[in-house]
Amino acid sequence: MKLLNSAKDFFIKKKLIYIDSLYSLQKEFSDKITEKIIAVDTEFTWRDTYFPRLNLIQIGTKNRIIVIDSQKIEDLSILKKILNSSEITKIFHSSRGDISVLFNCLNIKINNIFDTQLAYSLIHHDTQQISYKDLVSKYFYKNLSKSQTNSDWEKRPLSKEQILYASEDVRYLNDIFKIQTKILRNKCLQDKFEQACEAEKVLAETNFSISRLKRLKKNKKISPLEEQIFLWREEKALELDIPPNKIFKEKDLKRLKTVITENKVKESLWIIKDENLRKQFLEKFI
């Protein structure tokens, strides 16, 4: 099977298309969408902002790989129509991050998803999250390069190596989808898999502050006051479009609780370094 998959990959070449204008995007995707199954991936940066910044969207079809420069195209409504469609299956590997980015950056709600990472875990009863590189290696005689893993996706122009690397992230998903769909059907795992994909989608589209709070409460017990402080930080971070830890570190949550309950105002000086934010915090809680 692995040899056959590799032979198909060798002989059936997909056309790589790079799109960086609205005109090219509209030309590539007509009003009538004929594709019923597409592979999807994204490249984004997330360093100094509250939400990630979407840099590229990759779409893989039977014969094409389309790399869309979302930094250069303001109107992505035609793409939104495709991704919103419940009639088109969207294949992801490790869908949560990509769905979250598309939801928060473009207000796109993805419907009808197929997550190859979830499928592999279910088929093989494996709790470990297999990487895309390792999954491709399982089904093909192919060792994907990771040379651009730490690439700067915000810098323009993109290099040929960056575009090729981004295209590889969807190149094999359609074929993996076919393989895994048959296995899931044969093992009568389709319903369980669909439920797992839907649960992943719900998590991906959960409000950032709520999902972060849930993750915190899962790892440690916090008081109602600490929860209020945490949500205040999220609110301010969103307002200023900065990462929450730029306001104060999560490890200082209990110390800020002490600042409030014991009126130790001076301690807040080194915890919340920005004078204006510190003033707002004290006005809010003391």
Q: Give me the amino acid identity at 90.
A: K
Cis peptide bond upstream of 52, omega within 30: no
Taking the C-alpha atoms of residue 134 and residue 140, their distance in angstroms, rounded to an integer, is 10
The answer on pLDDT for 50 being more than 50 is yes
- pLDDT grade for 94, boundaries at 50, 70 and 90: very high
Q: How far is CA 270 from CA 17, 165, 233, in A?
A: 51, 43, 16
Taking the C-alpha atoms of residue 207 and residue 78, their distance in angstroms, rounded to an integer, is 25
250 and 182 co-located in one domain: no
136 and 248 co-located in one domain: no
167 and 121 co-located in one domain: yes
200 and 224 co-located in one domain: no
pLDDT score for 7: 43
For 59, which DSSP code?
E
59 and 162 co-located in one domain: yes
The answer on pLDDT for 22 being more than 50 is yes
Sheet holding 37-45, edge to edge: 15-19, 64-69, 53-60, 37-45, 89-92, 113-115
Which of 4-18, 62-76, 154-168 shows the lowest per-residue confidence on average (mean pLDDT)?
Answer: 4-18
- Per residue in 209-222, pLDDT tens? 999 999 999 988 99
213 and 197 co-located in one domain: no
198 and 250 co-located in one domain: no
Higher pLDDT, 242 or 149: 242
> What value does the mean pLDDT take over residues 176-205?
97
The answer on pLDDT for 11 being more than 80 is no
Domain range enclosing 100 = 2-206
Provide the number of structural domains found in the chain. 2
pLDDT score for 3: 47
Report CA dihedral (53, 208, 282, 262) to the nearest 10 degrees: -130
Of 175, 206, 237, the domain-final residue: 206
230 and 272 co-located in one domain: yes
CB atoms within 10 A of CB 59: 23
165 and 256 co-located in one domain: no
The answer on pLDDT for 235 being more than 80 is yes
Of 206, 224, 250, the domain-final residue: 206
Domain CATH for 171: 3.30.420.10
174 and 238 co-located in one domain: no
The answer on pLDDT for 13 being more than 80 is no
pTM: 0.90
196 and 224 co-located in one domain: no
For 266, which DSSP code?
G
Taking the C-alpha atoms of residue 280 and residue 248, their distance in angstroms, rounded to an integer, is 13
> What value does the mean pLDDT take over residues 145-169?
92
- The β-bridge partners of 59 are 40, 66
- Per residue in 115-143, pLDDT tens? 999 999 999 998 889 999 999 999 998 89
Of 157, 187, 206, the domain-final residue: 206
Taking the C-alpha atoms of residue 65 and residue 230, their distance in angstroms, rounded to an integer, is 42
Looking at every residue in the chain, the average pLDDT score rounds to 93
10 and 147 co-located in one domain: yes
- Per residue in 243-271, pLDDT tens? 999 999 999 999 999 999 999 999 999 99
Sequence-ordered alpha helix ranges (H) in 172-274: 173-186, 190-204, 208-219, 224-240, 253-261, 268-271
Residue 83: closest CA among 152, 35, 145, 16: 35
